[in-house]
Amino acid sequence: MRKLHYSIVINAPKEKVWNTMLNQDSYRLWTEVFGPGSQYAGDWSKGSKMLFLAPDETGAGSGMVSRIKENRPYEYISIEHIGIVQGGKEYTSGEAVKEWAGALENYTFREMDGRTEVMVDVDTAEEEYEEMFQTTWPKALQKLKELAEKEAS
């Protein structure tokens, strides 16, 4: 797996950025860059199971089955992907899952004089996803920045 890195500086305190990133309503807004209707089911506490979902042709949803590996509020959150959702069904074993099992998505928040640097480290298994992420992650972080700065003013 390859690790990709993205970052952005947001003119808002880290608590505001954290809450904007993880609140379901604003999460849906900044992640729509990855796919319209993106959302999550679950909670962000350490050890919790999370489903990251988007609508699919079946209407039941597709996405990732994940676990919150670490959560240090306003500082760091780590998501470990352990499976996939296809047609509303969860799969945590098999060929389709093997390429993603253990992939991490890590977010680090560092405050500097009322501004927050958000650093994102993402594991990816396939070149096609790497190309997509190179386009979508910067757009998603820009949207997060706009949302957090708007709410901070």
Residue range 2-152 in CATH 3.30.530.20 = yes
**Taking the complete model, does pTM exceed 0.85, yes or no?**
yes
For the chain, the structural domain boundaries read 2-152
First CA to last CA distance, the chain: 40
pLDDT tens-place string over residues 107-141: 999 999 999 999 999 998 777 678 888 999 999 99
CA distance 87 to 26: 25
Q: What integer pLDDT is reported at residue 64 of this predicted model?
A: 92
Instruction: Say whether pLDDT at 81 is over 90.
Output: yes
Report H helices in 75-153: 95-98, 127-152
CA distance 46 to 69: 6
pLDDT tens-place string over residues 16-39: 999 999 999 999 999 999 988 999
